[in-house]
A and B are shown apart, each in its own frame.
Chain A
Amino acid sequence: MSYTLRGRIESRLAALVPLVAAACVLALAEHKWWPVEAAGLMVGVGVALDTQAYDRVLRYQPGWAALPLGLIELGAVLGLMRLAGVMAPLWQAIALFAGGWLVAQLLGHAGFPLLRLSYAEDGGELGRIGAVAAVSVGVALASAGATAYALRPPVVHLSAGVHQGPLVITRREVLVGDPGATVRGGIVIRASGVTVKNVSVVGGENGITVDGVRGTVLDGVSVSGAKLDGIHVRLGGVMIKNCTIDMLGNDLGQGIDISYNMGMGMSMVEGCTIVGGMEGITTHSSMSDIMNNRVSRTAKRGISVTEMSMGMVMDNDVQNADGIGIWCNDRSMCQIERNTVVDTSGTGFGVLASFQSEANLWQNKLGANPVPAKAIVDSEVLRQQDFSYR
């Protein structure tokens, strides 16, 4: 079809009405804002491409072009979601986009021509229907935005200096540390939807404890001197980003321990630096993605995924583990990709799968480990394009 600019925008917005409605319903049902944020980005990306690119380049758009253009828009939306920090489960976000795309195709090829007989010759313009659709999408997104704004958690600033803990958080809030803000004695999170940003924690039983709550975000926290674990998560869903954990001198605790949250969706550990401890990052009965972390000088394992856990272990750098670099254990399923594991000492496995576990390895660099990778006790290591050296 040869769209006019107005036709492109009206057709797009009208086709997105079902998607925006679905996103609002999903957000209400799941008590999460990512569907609405994703829908908003889809609208924004689509209209921006319509006005800045498609209208200028495509005087005529054949039907097949919807597929590559859709993939371009999907890439842009996912990229922007990542940049904007929209915390959406990847496959659910892709499913939402794909559903919206499919509905748009059905409406564009069948629904709109039946609704408005002159749809094709009007270049996709929908007249009153288009105006109503544009207003509907705008109102829905604005309403959702206003609701999100009204319901946003209070922001509490923690001033610079040392605050005596343990600090117990019992309501949904965003705790933001000013530069130099330190809590001595640990933080305990007992409410869902809590975000802790840029706070240093010194000492405490655990540095940060998350127990039985959902939607916790730990962003830019640093922990040192914890008696047990640096970050200790039980029965809770967390997103841990850009943390620093110093466990040197504590050979019994874990840097990050996420356990028994299988039914609480995906957790994530990303961009953290962990030094020392018995294990750097460990998950038990959990679905977690562990990505882009640096783990070094642990007394036993660098990263362990165990007790029927599932998850991706990607792009991590594990050095000087005394035993096993990355461990997939006890009936767990691990996707281990593009990690670097070097200088493992002791029994010395770069990657070990054990006790009926399945580890799928792809493009890892396993260097200076006594044994690069091995499977024991009914386990399996599927290796593709790994690079091992001594």
Chain B
Amino acid sequence: MQVAVVGSGLAGFTAYQALRRVLSPEEIVVFGTADDPAATFRAHAAAIRQREMRSESDGHCLPATFPGLAFRASVARRSPGPLLATAADRFHPTVDEFLAHVDQLRARSGWERSLVSRRIERVQTVAGGFELDGEGPFPHVLIATGHPGLNVPDELRDDPRVVHAYEPHDYASSVTVVGAGLAAATEWLNALAAGAEVVSVRRRDAVRQPLNVPREYFSRRGLAGFHALGAAERAARLRTLLAPSYPRGRAFDAPLAAAVMENRFRVAERVNGTEQVICATGFRRGFEHDPLLSRLVREQGLETVDGWIVLAPDATVSALTDETRTLSLAGVAAQWAFPAADTLTGARYVAHGLLARIRACRTR
């Protein structure tokens, strides 16, 4: 066995698609608890009634950006519309289109043949690579365990009115939405559409930008400078880049402006007496909330900065990677290498790095 992927979510699945370029399903093992790589995303999208992806044409799980989802949508719809829209960065695949594509890839890539239903709790270095809970050794390991749980502010944790945006819920007649990112903005619109009065509680004004981070940070143009920063500056830059944001556009602005006119939407500094409180506050942040990564850092003495594990630019753990073995992190844990690591493009970035390592590996 050549490669082990720990985690069967979208980041692991994207890496799997890239690995399949050079390896057969029998040479890859994926440890995870869900057969469906989109299971978590599917549940979250359903909870916030998300219909369109924030990502664009290249927000898919294949290793090459072409053909993107716009091209596929053009073929499927027999219309040049998606291609023209993507030329202006205005194409966003529907959630259904994205999920259908994941299902298609899952069926044809041999995913089930590689999947082992098991939660890995420990990664150990051994001769020849890494052991995963005694399995192995594997010369190349990718850890893609995903977000370490939903984040609910401490002061609201025991409040019976509270539900997290990514948990199934309906809307009461008065709703407070905590947060300022895309999930919060989506929940404002959902609650307004359900007839509720909405109070937005947020610590800062939302950043309005099309993608999670500015576009240049998706390529070497922005990443080269980012990678050159010292540890403290890099952590500060990451905090700035990862501030909650949602896209500009009438789709958000028009309903909110109408609701303000009707006194059904306002901003407040703290949670007040509404019937329901929806925490659109994302996920818990920091490796220490992930038992596997936390243990790895502790046992291997890995360098960390402000909740991030320090990684090489290709998202490998430098202290545990050499010409014969690779340990990479994917998903949110790889933000030190790629600020938008918890996106599909980020997952692809990490997958490319891992693929390059495997291709260059002396023992392969």
Residues of chain A whose beta carbon lies under 8 Å from any beta carbon of chain B: 1-4, 7, 59-60, 62-64, 109-110, 113-114, 117-125
Contacts and interface: CB of A to CB of B under 8 A. Distances in A.
B40 interface: no
Given A62-B88, A62-B89, A118-B352, A3 B66 contact: no
Given A2-B216, A4-B221, A60-B216, A121 B355 contact: no
B345 interface: yes
B222 A2 contact: yes
Nearest to A105: B87
B65 A120 contact: yes
B247 to A, nearest CB: 15
Interface string B201-241: 00000000000000110111111100000000000000000
A121 B220 contact: yes
B3 to A, nearest CB: 16
B18 interface: yes
A117 B66 contact: no
Dominant SS among interface residues on chain B: helix
Contact of A60 (B215, B348, B355): B215
B18 to A, nearest CB: 7
A59 B356 CA distance: 27
A59 B217 CA distance: 10
A121 B67 CA distance: 16
Given A2-B215, A2-B219, A3-B219, 19 more contacts: A2-B216, A4-B220, A7-B219, A62-B89, A109-B66, A110-B67, A113-B66, A114-B64, A114-B66, A117-B21, A117-B63, A117-B355, A118-B356, A120-B65, A120-B345, A121-B352, A122-B219, A124-B219, A125-B220
B60 to A, nearest CB: 12
Contact of B349 (A63, A114, A121): A121
B124 to A, nearest CB: 31
Nearest to A111: B66
A120 B224 contact: no
Given A7-B220, A125-B220, A63 B64 contact: no
A62 B353 CA distance: 25
B342 interface: no
Contacts of A3: 219, 221
A64 B67 contact: no
Nearest to B89: A62
A123 B18 CA distance: 19
A64 B18 CA distance: 29
Contacts of A4: 219-221, 224
Interface residues of B, number: 27
B58 interface: yes
B86 A63 contact: yes
Interface of B: 18, 21, 58, 63-67, 86-89, 215-216, 218-224, 345, 348-349, 352, 355-356
A63 to B, nearest CB: 4
B210 to A, nearest CB: 10
A61 to B, nearest CB: 10
B316 to A, nearest CB: 15
B216 A59 contact: yes
A321 B225 CA distance: 71
Contacts of B352: 117-118, 121
A119 B222 CA distance: 15
Contacts of A119: 65
Max chain B C-beta neighbours (<10 A), residue from A1, A3, A114, A117: A117
B219 A110 contact: no
A329 B76 CA distance: 56
Given A4-B224, A62-B89, A63-B89, A113 B219 contact: no
Identify the interface centre among A4, A64, A121: most chain B CB within 10 Å of its CB: A121
B219 A121 contact: yes
Contact of A123 (B58, B221, B349): B221
B65 A64 contact: no
B58 A120 contact: yes
A313 B58 CA distance: 52
A110 to B, nearest CB: 5
A5 to B, nearest CB: 9
Contacts of B18: 117
B298 to A, nearest CB: 32
- Interface pairs A-B: 5 shortest CB-CB: A63-B87, A123-B220, A123-B219, A2-B221, A2-B219
Nearest to A63: B87
B219 A120 contact: yes
Contacts of A118: 349, 352, 356
Contact of B65 (A2, A113, A123, A125): A113
Given A4-B224, A110-B66, A63 B219 contact: no
Nearest to A114: B64
8 contacts: A2-B219, A4-B220, A4-B224, A59-B216, A113-B64, A117-B352, A118-B352, A124-B219
Nearest to B71: A110
A109 B74 CA distance: 15
Given A114-B64, A121-B345, A62 B219 contact: no
Contacts of A117: 18, 21, 63-64, 352, 355
A191 B10 CA distance: 72
Contacts of B348: 121
Contacts of B218: 2, 120-121
Contact of A63 (B63, B88, B215, B220): B88
A117 B66 CA distance: 9
A64 B355 contact: no
Nearest to A61: B215
Contact of A62 (B65, B87, B223, B345): B87
A320 B69 CA distance: 68
A45 to B, nearest CB: 23
Contacts of B87: 62-64
Contacts of A121: 218-220, 223, 345, 348-349, 352
A265 B60 CA distance: 52
